[in-house]
A and B are shown apart, each in its own frame.
Chain A
Amino acid sequence: MDVLTATLAWLLDPIHWSGPDGIPTRIAEHLAISIVSLAAAGLVALPVGAIIGHTGRGGTLAVNLANLGRAVPSYAVLVIVLPPALQLAPTLGYEPSLGLSEIPTFTAMFLLAIPPILVNTYGGLREVDRDLVEAARGMGMRERQILFRLEAPLAMPVIVGGIRTSAVQVVATATLGAVVAYGGLGRYIVDGIARNENDRLFAGVVLVAGLALAAEGLLALVQRLLSPRGLPSAGEHAFRNLAEVPAPPAFLP
């Protein structure tokens, strides 16, 4: 149990709790890229999911695109974006270091976060009883009112479930940012492997896993708080999009 003792000693050492390579800085970096990517993905996926979910048009295409997107590994996105992001730096006038780390990491996390939010927003809205929507229309509610006052609240647990899945995946995968020189908690793992320092490596493992589990727990709570009373409990919606049937690609005979 050497490794455990060494890891604990590493984690408790005050040297590792300050400065640019300190744990608070690395956690802040990790959360910063996760929150920014998730917010950007939400800004795209929520409105698109809401529109196709409300109108029912373009749903198959969107779900197929989202499933295709899931097939693209984040590590591949990260490295595909890297060379052009680096080369465009002088032309577009940003710091080359942004092209080396922030832009690839952001792009990979952004693309990773879109499918669960999109699929769940669309699916959640589609699941709302059509009779209720017809009744609302009959009562003279406008489309916008139907969306925001009827469909969105009823679909909320499913939508938040999608955000939760995305958030946990992003927090977990942002670890890879360290490979392209972004900071975050992955730094300890990548450096630990490179320098052959098991205590640093394991401290990174513990911190990253802890952060991902904390994000999962926090969002499960948010999901429960945002679920309208009278609906099935939030727990039943956790990870629900994982158990969903991916639609076969549209171009197949």
Chain B
Amino acid sequence: MRPGEPLLDVAWIADHLDDIAFRLGQHVLIAVIAVAVGLAISMALALWARRAPWLRGPVTGIAGVLYTIPSLALFAALLPFTGLTLLTAEIPLVLYTLLILFRNIMAGFDGVPADVAEAADGMGYRSAERLLQIELPLAVPLIIAGVRLASVSTIGLVMIVSLLGKNLGGLGVFITEGIQTFFATKVYVGAALSVALAIAIDLLLVWLERRATPWSRARAARAVAAD
């Protein structure tokens, strides 16, 4: 951006590896907390909505409205109340995960075949056992699909926090500082690492899903064999 400046200043990167590692760790930590809390809340809401089906519409509606509010606006709206604290970062991040996670958990439960649930009842499973041993495992692929979407979008949103202040923006801090000081290397480091992080987390969750649902791989293998 400065005239004559190399697009990538390798010496700067070598000098700031500590800083880069710190921001990367911060980014992951903030995102993981948000998705974990969001998953816990969504799961609780989904379990409740299974017993009280009327709840589903309002929860989806409210989560949908929250999801529509621009992230910069929601972060900024909290600033005067919670200041530049972890809470200001986490509250909007958690709220944004709710729509995706709640919908996918509900879709996962919906996808459990009725005869499977009935068979479980017939075999004498109690309600809680049926949930934990039958329904939840069958819902895992859709739940993890939701966690993938939520994680990837959260990683993108953490960067926006850097526009409020520089203590909590993770890799976004490099970008924001890079723009403000017209230093392209910082911008590229922040941007490239955040993209790589999002893709890496996505792949990790795909791997986790395969580990968690060995039967789907067996089924796929059978399908191939049947061809």
Interface residues of A (CB under 8 A from B): 3, 67-68, 70-77, 79-80, 82-83, 86, 168, 171-173, 175-176, 179-180, 186, 189-190, 192-193, 198, 201-202, 204-205, 208-209, 212-213, 216, 238-239, 242-246, 248-249, 252
Within 8 A of A (CB), among B56-102: 64-65, 67-74, 76-77, 79-80, 99-100
The list of the 3 closest CB pairs from A to B, nearest first, reads A73-B156, A76-B191, A172-B70
Question: In chain B, what residue has the closest Cβ to A181?
Answer: B179
Q: In the assembly, what is the distance between CA of A59 and CA of B79, in Å?
A: 44
Q: In the assembly, what is the distance between CA of A77 and CA of B156, in Å?
A: 11
Q: In the assembly, what is the distance between CA of A46 and CA of B160, in Å?
A: 30
Tell me, rounded to whole Å, the shortest Cβ–Cβ distance linking A121 to chain B: 19
Contact assessment for A75 and B156 in the assembled complex, using a CB-CB cutoff below 8 Å: yes
Q: A193-B163, A249-B206 are in contact. Are A73 and B194 (CB under 8 A)?
A: yes
Contacts of A83 in B (CB 8 A): 1, 7, 184, 187
Contact assessment for A70 and B73 in the assembled complex, using a CB-CB cutoff below 8 Å: no
Contacts of A244 in B (CB 8 A): 145
Contact assessment for B149 and A193 in the assembled complex, using a CB-CB cutoff below 8 Å: no
Q: A208-B70, A246-B145 are in contact. Are A252 and B199 (CB under 8 A)?
A: no
Contact assessment for B156 and A74 in the assembled complex, using a CB-CB cutoff below 8 Å: yes
Tell me, rounded to whole Å, the shortest Cβ–Cβ distance linking A221 to chain B: 15
Q: A172-B69, A175-B73 are in contact. Are A242 and B79 (CB under 8 A)?
A: no
Question: In chain B, what residue has the closest Cβ to A172?
Answer: B70
Question: In chain B, what residue has the closest Cβ to A215?
Answer: B68
Q: Which of A71, A173, A198 contacts B199 (CB 8 A)?
A: A71
Q: In the assembly, what is the distance between CA of A252 and CA of B156, in Å?
A: 23
Q: In the assembly, what is the distance between CA of A198 and CA of B146, in Å?
A: 35
Contacts of B199 in A (CB 8 A): 68, 71
Q: Which of A76, A173, A204, A245 contacts B175 (CB 8 A)?
A: A76
Q: Which of B73, B179, B206 contacts A204 (CB 8 A)?
A: B73
Question: In chain A, what residue has the closest Cβ to B175?
Answer: A79
Contact assessment for A205 and B107 in the assembled complex, using a CB-CB cutoff below 8 Å: no
